[in-house]
Amino acid sequence: MPLENKHIYTVSQITQEIKVIFENTFGLGVWVEGEVSDFKTYPSGHAYFSLKDSESLLMAVMFARANSQVKFKIENGLKVVCFGKINFYGPQGKAQLVVEKIEPKGIGARQLAFEQLKDRLSKEGFFDPKHKKELPLMPFSVGIVTSEAGAAIRDILGILKKGASCVDVLIRPVRVQGERASLEIAQGIEELNAFGRVDLIIVSRGGGSTEDLWAFNEEACARAVYNSKIPVISAVGHQINISFCDLVADLFVETPTAAAKIVVDKKNSLLTEISELKHEMGFSILDKINSFENKVTGLKASLKSPLDRLQEKTQFLDELCVSLNNNARQIINITKEKLKSFVERLDALSPLKVLSRGYSLSINEADGAIIKDAFSIESGDRIKTILSKGALISRVEEIIKEESKHERKTVL
């Protein structure tokens, strides 16, 4: 058949025909089971991946609106069941599943999300006992994060009013179930921490199904409890399964009533301890008083009369006077002996003593200088010679040089 007689389709026409066939066949949507591979999420929020089994592969796209509704983390290798429509994407010439819903195969999405979050929080140390804080010895101010319309707040307030009326209560009302309940609970905990003037926080609600209590299993609630600087008691009532709020809290109890009783018990325990300390202090004071009384009695017995003490002091003073006089005499005698020795030594060194032994002292009459060297005077000088008895005046006629090392002669 000549080519001009044949019906020729364009690529766009063919892809459009294929698209119409897919829409007519799967227009109401279809459930597809497969294993996730090549999963990627883009900044736009759209997710692109493949569904495969042992023999085939189907491309899939999940747009941002549907992707934001997924509660669990989609990972490669996860077996899932998807609901959506099959269409043919002309620009790339491929068939794809536009996913509207996705569920993990064999386990509910919520349970899978629970297990995934539990594993992640555990790795971050949220459940580590070392992170848990001690409850205060006595919480005088308690912040309660709960629904203001629920039975939980009535139970807590009733017990505190009866057993611990001294405790101040600050209520932060929140929703405790529903889509944004977890965020409100987290915000309530954060606001009480920012307020600062509470000693203890109770996060509470009454009983309910697993779905009703799910807000306490979400990350926002768990992270707020973990980051709280104020100790937190989790009192999510009557549940069979323990929530993340329970696991992360510093203490968890099964009912709101039990949380309130802890505060009452702490008050009673503190009062008991104060009473015991009061008795111990009383006994200790009495014991000290008796001990002081015994010491005073002993001192009284050992004390002498003022007259006896005065006589003792007088006698002691007399003994000191005698001792002082004896010491003074001894010092005077020793000083006299030392002085006598000094006088004798000075007298021995006196020039007069030297002259008495036959020596004389010559002085230059012109200037009064003592003559020590024959060459310090000249012929014709008048000198004065002092003897042991009297003195004489003479004139130098000749100066004789030293004749030997040990002998000098001077002619006067």
Model pLDDT for residues 363-381, shown as the tens digit of each residue: 888 888 888 888 888 888 8
Query: Phi/psi of residue 89, each to 5°?
Result: -90, 100
69 and 165 both lie in a single domain: no
30 forms bridges with which residues in the sheet? 84
In a domain, 41, yes or no: yes
Phi-psi region of 4 (alpha: psi -120 to 50; beta: other; left: phi over 0): alpha
Averaged pLDDT score across all residues of the chain: 83
Instruction: Note whether 88 and 163 are same-domain residues.
Output: no
Does residue 193 share a domain with residue 106?
Answer: no
SS3 string of 255-288?
CHHHHHHHHHHHHHHHHHHHHHHHHHHHHHHHHH
Q: 199 and 101, same structural domain?
A: no
Cβ neighbors of 296 (< 8 A, separation 6 or more) are none
Q: Which residue has the higher pLDDT, 282 or 114?
A: 282
Residue 178: the pLDDT is 84
- 355: helix, strand or coil: helix
**Rounded CA gap, 175 and 194, in Å?**
20
Question: Does some domain include residue 36?
Answer: yes
Q: Residues 280, 283, 285, CA angle at the centre, nearest 5°?
A: 105
- The answer to whether residues 46 and 151 belong to one domain is no
Per-residue pLDDT of 208-267, as tens digits, reads 777 778 888 888 999 999 999 999 999 887 656 678 888 899 998 988 999 999 999 888
From first CA to last CA, the distance across the chain in angstroms is: 182
How many domains, the chain? Answer: 3
Residue 86 covered by a domain: yes
**What is the extent of the structural domain holding 79?**
3-110
145 and 264 assigned to the same domain: yes
The residues, any chain, with a CB within 8 Å of residue 183's CB and separated by 6 or more, are: 220
Rounded to whole angstroms, the Cα distance separating 255 from 253 reads 6
Q: Are strands 200-205 and 232-236 parallel, antiparallel or unpaired?
A: parallel
Are residues 162 and 65 part of one domain? Answer: no
231, part of any domain: yes
Which regions of 198-325 does DSSP assign to beta strands (E)?
Answer: 200-205, 232-236, 251-252
Confidence at residue 186, expressed as pLDDT on a 0 to 100 scale: 94
- pLDDT tens digits along 307-348: 777 877 888 888 888 888 888 888 988 888 888 888 777 777
Residues 79 and 38 occupy one common structural domain: yes
349 within a domain of the structure (yes/no): no
Residue 233 lies in a domain: yes
Structure confidence at residue 201 (pLDDT):
94
Amino acid 110 reads R
Amino acid 297: pLDDT: 78
Per-residue burial over 118-128, b if 16 or more Cβ lie within 10 Å, else e, is beebeeeebbe
Look up the CATH number of the domain holding residue 187.
Answer: 3.40.50.2300
12 and 101 housed in the same domain: yes
Range 167-173 average pLDDT: 92
d(CA 239, CA 214): 11
- Residue 386 phi/psi, 5-degree rounding, is -100, 130
3-state DSSP call for residue 97?
Answer: strand
| Contact criterion met (CB below 8 Å) for 218 and 182 | yes
Write the pLDDT tens digit of every residue in 59-74. Answer: 899 999 988 888 778 8
Residue 220 belongs to some domain of the structure = yes
Say which CATH number the domain at 27 has. Answer: 2.40.50.140
User: Could you tell me which of 383, 382, 391 has the C-alpha nearest to residue 352?
Assistant: 391
What local confidence, expressed as pLDDT, does residue 282 receive?
83
pLDDT value, residue 352 = 67
Say if residue 143 is in the same domain as residue 243: yes
Distance CA 227, CA 194 (A): 12
Nearest to 208 by CA among 182, 184, 246, 240: 240
**Each residue of 8-35: pLDDT tens digit?**
667 777 777 777 777 777 767 888 888 8
Q: Which two tokens stand for residue 255?
A: 């009912």
Residue 194 has pLDDT above 90, yes or no: yes
105 shares a domain with 153: no
Do 264 and 364 reside in the same domain of the chain? Answer: no
Long-range contacts of range 124-127, CB-CB < 8 Å, 24 or more positions apart? Answer: 126/222, 126/223, 126/226, 126/244, 126/247, 126/248, 127/247, 127/248
pLDDT at res. 406? 46
Choose the final residue of a domain: 110, 127, 160.
Answer: 110
Domain boundary among 246, 268, 290: 268
Answer whether residue 49 is part of any domain. yes
Closest listed residue to residue 61, CA positions, set 77, 85, 34: 85
* The pairing of beta strand 382-386 with beta strand 361-364: antiparallel
Distance (Å, rounded) from C-alpha 315 to C-alpha 321? 10
